[in-house]
A and B are shown apart, each in its own frame.
Chain A
């Protein structure tokens, strides 16, 4: 027993300093391309063609990146003639633009979750990447328990439904059932590009365009997969303890 006490003390605190301070360690986030870049028409069209998920739109001399579709494949920063600026950071979570049960960020946003929140994770056809990132939240580095976030096995005790995956046909009814089984007030958080827009999968013959087809989504966390810190930011936004990503209207 004494050995692990000593080694533990010697190790010190390994947990991330986020959300007290910004985490700046390398490798905690893959980053996303800059949202808005002015450029010439020829380059812009090329960028649109390079993007595999159609996340880049080019209008009136500006290349816009839709974070809801971006899978940070880096093609726009590597292969194109005009590369996009790459932004590090992970505070990407935002209020969903439509369909939410609550007025985003307003006084009517549920205050019950400020101190603690119980999370029911639903895998709605996920490839495993987002789930893996969600799993990391429990490890000593991210340690979400210190913030009062807990994963619960039953939706009956859950405050927020964390959905990963594009919602394929076979997971639609269970997802709906889990949402129905939750007590109010309840939030829905869509995590990952697939859950936000169908990602690389949808819309297709088995999947739609993400969770918002089925449930009213309140919080969206872009990324494919979003790093654990991004999910943590999403949870903090849901709890009303952090502001969402600035200047993002959801499109």
Chain B
């Protein structure tokens, strides 16, 4: 019953937002976007919460379309989680936009942005609640189009619209693949496109069809998720988009790709063999590694954050793939844990990435540049912004006790659980993926140390970075919301895991959360599930501390094994936080009052190599900081330097040396450029047929006809698929010729 209320409220406030944006004066558009967007996203989140709490999905039967069948909306737990996460990002973004959009007031039409914003909100709601293929595809397409409109909002010239266009084109290619995937699932099928009937029907698919569905949907949704190698659009689209759009793009739209992959491959057509799951696993790990490498290289803050999004999506996909493989090996419990890790990582990524994009946007607006080489020293006049950005950076580095740590730790633990699997080659692949993720985690720390240090510490490297600016309340509120969520998600994992466990239970049928959070807090009935000796061991360690204060099974994340190995893995960020605070304060006090008791502090200027003052040029730059990574992975980045020397007087008097370092992205260099070259070569060869001689053209027609006749003579039932294709080719050739 609450469902309907909140869903209608969401719809009403979104539409009201659109109307208000069109009617209100230009000055008030940002405020109306903030208010209506905020309330609508709260309603959206409430729908998600209701879905997560209730045991039955919320379903609305829409009208019936002839030849397609009935259309339906349904919000189950999976949709509920995604709705909740999206709602959080939309809420924070709406608040942030109130202040952020003031800079756009004079130069851009805010009405367009506002309308697109509410439209994309509606489209996201619709994608997540669609329960039939048609609604899903239509809303997906709407979401893509409005996403394009938002990314290309600040269009100035043709060059700056190219990345948005690339995003649209790649998204559409993915969309076509998704359509084909749905056609394969429901091809000869049930007569309607409801997910429920597709689910029933998919059991009868053969393995060819299953692979086709998997590959098509994984490609289609993977493009939107930003998985390698089809993610070239993402780091290009982010820098041209406004910061609030970037937050939505990274925090919401990328998640929808994950949603699609789960919906199709775990819900509609559950995988039968391990192969597809392994593909997901490896592509995820590869994306994560590539993403973080390029994030290390990029000095543009938003491009860096975009690449880091690719990395995070890669981690999520890896956990997802691990879950898929575990399912095919009939390990629903481990699959459940893997999916909890994936959902956790996804939630975290949405929270901290929107926070970081807000920070990048605020810096961009105040300093007029996003290049870390030109920033620096911002923490002096923006201390709060620096602290909030630091919270996001620590979380994304996966340092305990932040939320990133919990999810990455769970992901890596899941990958280690591959030892239970029977196949040796699968184990090796799991180990490879795990090694890739471990390297990724290390590089992520490098990347965000650079991002924070080069932007906020040191001395300003340009006049723009020296400008004093105030970060106003809405921006602080939006970022504070993210930072507090980061901490809460990190410190209270035992409250989050049961919620995520309900989602994974929907897919696996086993409650994995119960296996992850042992009931150390509960009384006798809860304890009866745990052996006495096990319990007393953990009581000695203090696992029951806080028993009477907090309503939860416990504060320890612990996966229990069998008798020989009672604890497979265990961790508690909740207890870690006070311990860390205690250790840090003890250390501080010890140094301050015991070790440094007899010494006194003298302040002298920074040593600048004997110069009167330190030039910005002398300090460590972002490029310099990432140099070790660039040198180590030189084979990937493969920079090419061209040097031009100008020598006017004599051969040995150089007037100027110009060095240009160019880099082609590894995917462009290895994959796309050769493909394009090959394709244009084939096209050139084929175009020799167009020489204008009528006789030859007649010969082509006759020849084709002959081949068709030949084929149709030996035709058997299986060639039914082939003949339309042939006819199409013939038609194309005829069309080309006549």
Q: Which residues in A have some Cβ–Cβ distance to B below 8 Å?
A: 154-156, 173-175, 177-178, 180-181, 184
User: B605-643: contact bitstring with A at CB < 8 Å (1 yes, 0 no)?
Assistant: 101101110000000000000000000000000000000
Listed from nearest, the 6 A-B pairs whose CB atoms lie closest are: A174-B610, A181-B607, A180-B604, A156-B607, A177-B610, A155-B607
A177-B607, A178-B607 are known contacts; what are 15 more A-B pairs with Cβ within 8 Å? A154-B607, A155-B607, A156-B607, A173-B610, A173-B612, A174-B610, A174-B611, A175-B610, A177-B605, A177-B608, A177-B610, A178-B610, A181-B604, A181-B605, A184-B602
Q: 20 A-B Cβ contacts within 8 A?
A: A154-B607, A155-B607, A156-B607, A173-B610, A173-B612, A174-B610, A174-B611, A175-B610, A177-B605, A177-B607, A177-B608, A177-B610, A178-B607, A178-B610, A180-B604, A180-B605, A181-B604, A181-B605, A181-B607, A184-B602
Q: Which of A175, A181, A184 has the most CB of B within 10 A?
A: A181
Residue of B nearest to A157 (CB): B607
Number of A-B contacts (CB under 8 A): 20
Residues of A with C-beta under 8 A to B607: 154-156, 177-178, 181
Q: Which residues in B have some Cβ–Cβ distance to A below 8 Å?
A: 602, 604-605, 607-608, 610-612
**CB of B526 to closest CB in A, whole Å:** 57
Residues of A with C-beta under 8 A to B602: 184
Residues of B with C-beta under 8 A to A184: 602
**CB of A4 to closest CB in B, whole Å:** 28
Residues of A with C-beta under 8 A to B604: 180-181
Residues of A with C-beta under 8 A to B612: 173
Residues of B with C-beta under 8 A to A181: 604-605, 607
Complex-state Cα separation, A184 to B604, whole angstroms = 12
Residue of B nearest to A180 (CB): B604
Complex-state Cα separation, A124 to B259, whole angstroms = 69
Residues of A with C-beta under 8 A to B610: 173-175, 177-178
Residues of B with C-beta under 8 A to A174: 610-611
Complex-state Cα separation, A155 to B607, whole angstroms = 8
Complex-state Cα separation, A178 to B605, whole angstroms = 10
Residue of B nearest to A122 (CB): B610
Residues of A with C-beta under 8 A to B608: 177
Complex-state Cα separation, A184 to B600, whole angstroms = 10
Residues of B with C-beta under 8 A to A154: 607
Complex-state Cα separation, A178 to B612, whole angstroms = 11
Q: Which of B602, B605, B610 has the most CB of A within 10 A?
A: B610
Residues of B with C-beta under 8 A to A175: 610
Complex-state Cα separation, A205 to B612, whole angstroms = 23
**CB of A177 to closest CB in B, whole Å:** 6
Residues of A with C-beta under 8 A to B611: 174
**CB of B619 to closest CB in A, whole Å:** 14
Q: Which of B605, B607, B608, B611 has the most CB of A within 10 A?
A: B607
**CB of A39 to closest CB in B, whole Å:** 47
**CB of A154 to closest CB in B, whole Å:** 6
Residue of B nearest to A155 (CB): B607
Complex-state Cα separation, A154 to B618, whole angstroms = 14
**CB of B647 to closest CB in A, whole Å:** 32
Complex-state Cα separation, A181 to B607, whole angstroms = 6
**CB of B595 to closest CB in A, whole Å:** 15
Complex-state Cα separation, A194 to B612, whole angstroms = 25
Complex-state Cα separation, A174 to B610, whole angstroms = 4
Residue of B nearest to A174 (CB): B610
Complex-state Cα separation, A60 to B459, whole angstroms = 64
Residue of A nearest to B608 (CB): A177
Residues of B with C-beta under 8 A to A173: 610, 612
Residues of B with C-beta under 8 A to A180: 604-605
Complex-state Cα separation, A4 to B473, whole angstroms = 69
Residues of B with C-beta under 8 A to A178: 607, 610
**CB of A185 to closest CB in B, whole Å:** 11
Complex-state Cα separation, A175 to B607, whole angstroms = 11
Residues of B with C-beta under 8 A to A155: 607
**CB of A160 to closest CB in B, whole Å:** 16
**CB of A121 to closest CB in B, whole Å:** 12
Residue of B nearest to A176 (CB): B610
**CB of A193 to closest CB in B, whole Å:** 24
Complex-state Cα separation, A156 to B610, whole angstroms = 12
**CB of B681 to closest CB in A, whole Å:** 51
